[in-house]
Structure formats: structure tokens, C-alpha cells
Structure 1
């Protein structure tokens, strides 16, 4: 009888486990088809020459040799990091300041401002890129050039010069993501006990001192998360340069994702595109490991200080 009860219990546990796996299986099936398989196929394809129609021919490491001998590939890596830095660093600083203001009691209608600051994130990225393409038009009647003309500055070719291209694309990234990061920082700030701010006010601390001595130390995990996600997002930048520069992708603004997309869907060289994707994958993994290492180092430092 005891063995029968144990067998029934095991059977019930197995049934529950099977039911649970069945409920979550659609996600894993879709991920395997549309996520895992393309990634593995890219690894495989990076060692072959293929135009999408003819049979694949083994190419060894020649695809990697080609991209590492291509100056435009190095320009794409450099552009990706520069645009990411120009768009991410100011974005994080500004979103933190806005979140601190929205979390305080100094601003009225805070819910309205929270909604407005988040609207750029849910706006169509194609529409955003088109509008900013008009703002940063190369002609003198472009909005940015018109503003510069008020200060007696000549028109700038935003879509053709080295730094203006990067600044225009970084501005799109900044405008789109600053609201999203503001909401993340705001959620973190709302978890900080308000008694700390009240005690600081009683002690005569200014707003800047509250931000430096209370908010920033308590937000370290949130800051690391935002830096991590913003870095990964900047490395995957594609739509903004595509809409702003067109399918030609000038060397001044081409990113790594744009480079591999151009090789795959413009030049039909899927082997070199896959090789570029593998290099981007290695870069992302390396930066992820660096981020995790810095996070663990900060955690160990805090523990040692407490002990």
C-alpha cells in the first residue's frame, strides 16, 4: 500500500511537471525556431560562401579574413561605439536627473510629465527617424541649419560629414530612449525610503547633496542595469542610420548591424554578413562579462566595507 501511494505521488508530480512544461513550451518552441536556429545557422554559415540561391561552398576562415581586411568594417565598429557613447552617456545622466525631479514633490502634475516623457519610446522608430531626417536636413532650410544660421553659423551637411552624422543619429537615440530609462530610474528611486530624504533635509542637505549622498549610492544596481541594457542597445543600432542615411550607408554613419545587413541583403554575401554577426556577438559577450565583473567587484567592495 505504501509503495502504491508513493507511486501515485510520483505520478501526480510528473503530471504536474508535464502540464507546466506544456504551458511554457510555446515560448521555447518559437525561440528555438526564430531565435536559436538562426544563431546556430549563422555560426555555420560564417564558414561558407552563399548568395542565398546557389549551393553553399565551404570558404573556411576567408569570410573573417575579408571583413578584417575591410576598412569599412573597422569604421562600422568605431561608429557604433562613438554613436553609442554620444547617445548613451548623456541619455543616462539626463534621465537620472529627470527621474529625480519627477520623484520629488517640487513638480506638480507629475503623472502627466511621466506619461509625456515616456511617449517617445512608444513612438514608431521609423516616424522618429523620418522627422529627425527633416530636422537634420543638409539644406540651409533644415531646422537644425536654420537654428545655426541665427548664430551666423553656416549650414552643415548632417548626412555627409564625419561628426555631424554621428551627432544626428545619437540625438535620435537620446530622444527615443531617455524616457524609458527615466521610468526605470524612477521605479528605483521610489523604492528608496523617503525617511532618508526627510532626515537629510532636517540636517540641511541641499538637493545636489541628496542626489549625490542618498540617491546615487542606493541606485547602483539600477545604474548598472541601465548601463548594461543601453550598451547592448547601442551595439544593435540599425534603424536610425538606415532611415537617416538610406540603403547606401555612408562610411561616416554605418554601424556593425548596418554593415552585416548591407552584406546580406544588398550584396547577397551571407557568409561575410554571418562572420560580422559572429564578431558582434563576441563583442557583446565581452562587454557583458566586463559589466558583470564590475558589478561583482562593486558588490564585494560594499560587503567588505560593511564587514
Structure 2
């Protein structure tokens, strides 16, 4: 007896399977598309997430750097703000042969060594002290950041009263002890020391908090094991703490090097002469201050751009040297 309904064409028993198979193939195609989108999402998402930084860096960092290199190859009309003739490396030859620029480089390295080296040592020491269980440790940890919050102008005013040649607090203390006052704004190396003191006062607490965060991440089991082996607090600091925070130290050293070689605000505001060009004899003019004077005040854009590129190459070279030395010491100690 046939079960086919009247009016149903022959072969209709196989028709319900056809739509089901088509629906299955459609779902399978959708799954394949989703898998492909998922794979592309995994590949492209990280680049999309970090792309805003690189776009902004290209606009405000890379493009000005390339354009500065372009400016350094031309002689610019400082009265009409127009590009002059192509001079090639003539601006670089002038800058490297300028005694004022060479003096500014020496001043920059002098202030950098007086500020960055003690700054890192003091910051590590302060971080190690703050890593202990102190009463009100949150207050002490926040207080070391206060100099960084203070505006550079206010900091210069404070240190200006300390290191003034005639009425400064430091000179008053020296005179009360029967010592000769120091001419902070005249003597070259004393002015470097005063400016380095301003830089250290402002940035030591900031770096100390970075070191403190790294010390907080060191497993406490290592200190307990070292204590069981008979190591004291000083031995634990040199054998456990410093090796464990070495990556952070590399970061701070590199950033301090870059910032120390670009110092501008402190010597600019420390100068009490009307010209503000790093003293009457340029005794504390830094390289960035030289670039500012040549480009903004004297309007020699080509020479200022050449000096900026020379300083940029020096900073890159020293940063790479620091990185290579720290990597070598890290591998040797490992």
C-alpha cells in the first residue's frame, strides 16, 4: 500500500532532505567565515590597539625629526622665513666648528653626570628604605613625589634663593662658617652643581617610585631563603634586590640619559642675565639651550636644525651604548 499522499509528486519523499542539506551547508559556510574573521582578528587586533600611539608619534615625533633634518640642509632667510639655497652639510660643519656649541656639549655632559648618576643611586636607596614596613608608609611614598609635582618655575625660584650670589641661603651659611661665598652664576662648575641639584631634587622621587614598584614585585620567598642562609639586609639588597630589578634599572638609566642630555628648563630659568643664554660666558649653556638660541632668538633655522640632529645622534649613540653595557653585565652575571 502506497503511503504517498494524493497530489504529491513522485520523488517528494527525498525533497525534505534537500533543504536540510542546503541549510547545513549554509551554516558550515558561516562557521568558516567566522573562523577566518577570528583568525584575522587575532592577527590584526594587537596592531590596531597600538596604532594610535604610532600614529601620534609619527605626527608629533617622527615627522618633526625628519623635517628638522630637511631644514638642516638649507640656508634659511631669517627675515622673510623662506627657504634659501641648498648648502648640504655646511650647517653641520659650522655647528661642529662653533666653540660655543662645543662648550654647550661639555656643559651638557657635566650637568648630566652630576645629576643622573647620583640620581639613580639615591633613588634606589630611597626605594629600598620605602620598601620596609614603615608607619604611615603611604604618606612617605607619596611625599617623595611632591618635588616632581612642583612646577619647574617654582623649583627654580626656590633654588634661586638658595644659590643666589649675593643673598643666597647657601652663601649665608658659608659666610657664617667663615668660608668664602660661591659665585654660583659665574663659576662654571659651581653653576653646574647648582643646576644638577635642581634636577636631582625634582626627579629623584619619581625614579624612586619606579624602583619601589619593581621591588614590590620581588617574591618575598627569596628574602626568606636568603635570611635562612644567614644573609643580612645589606647582603639581601645586593644579592637579591638589585639582580631582580635589573630590567627596571636599565629602563631608568636609559630614560635618565635621554632626559639628562636634553636639559633645558633649569639652565634657562637659572640664568639671571637679560639674554638668558646660559650665563655671560655661556658657562652653563646646554645643547638644547644652544638650539633654542640659534633657532628662536637668532633665527638661524638651518644651524639650529643641524645642532638638533647632532644632539639626537649623540643621544641615540649613548642610549645604545648604555643598553649594550647593561645587557653585557646582565648576561655575565647570569
TM-score above 0.5, yes or no:
yes
Superposition map of 1:277-296 within 5 A:
277-296=308-327
Aligned to 1:49, the other structure's residue is in SS state strand
Return the offset for 1:158.
0.6
Give the match for residue 156 of structure 2. 129
Contact 2:277–2:289 (CA under 8 A) maintained in structure 1: no
CA distance in 2, matches of 1:91, 1:252: 23
SS in 2 for 1:56: strand
SS in 2 for 1:57: strand
| Aligned mate of 2:301, from 253, 270, 273 | 270
1:101 aligns with 2:129: yes
Q: What TM-score results when the alignment is normalised by the length of structure 2?
A: 0.82
Task: State the alpha-carbon separation in 2 of the partners of residues 137 and 11 from structure 1.
Answer: 67
Does 2:69 align with 1:46?
no
Cα 1:240–1:14, aligned 2, differ >3 Å: closer, same or farther? Answer: same
Higher relative contact order, chain-length normalized (CA < 8 Å, sep 6+): 1
- Structure 2 equivalent of residue 171 of structure 1: 197
Which sections of structure 2, spanning at least 5 residues, go unmatched? 1-24
- Pick the aligned partner of 1:78 from 86, 103, 106: 106
Q: Per-residue CA shift, 1:129-174, capped at 9, x if unaligned?
A: 22212211111x2111112122211221111111111001000010
- The size of the alignment, in residue pairs, is 301
- Residue 121 (structure 2) pairs with residue 90 (structure 1): no
Q: Where do 1:1-307 residues align within 5 Å? A: 6=32, 10=36, 26-50=52-76, 51=78, 53-105=81-133, 107-139=134-166, 141-245=167-271, 247-250=276-279, 251-303=282-334
**Corresponding residue SS for 1:55:** strand
| TM-score, normalised relative to structure 1 | 0.89
Equivalent-residue separation in structure 2 for 1:27 and 1:14 (angstroms): 21
1:27/1:185 Cα in 2 relative to 1: closer, same or farther (>3 Å)?
closer
1:246-274 deviation line (CA, Å, top 9, x unaligned): 52222211111111111001100011110
Measure the CA separation in 2 of the matches of 1:193 and 1:8.
Answer: 43
Distance 1:18 1:195 in 2: 40
| RMSD, aligned α-carbons | 2.4
Shift of 1:214: 1.9
Structure number, greater radius of gyration: 2
Provide structure 1 residue ranges, at least 5 long, that are not aligned to the other structure: none
**Does the CA contact (< 8 Å) of 2:127 and 2:209 recur in 1?**
yes
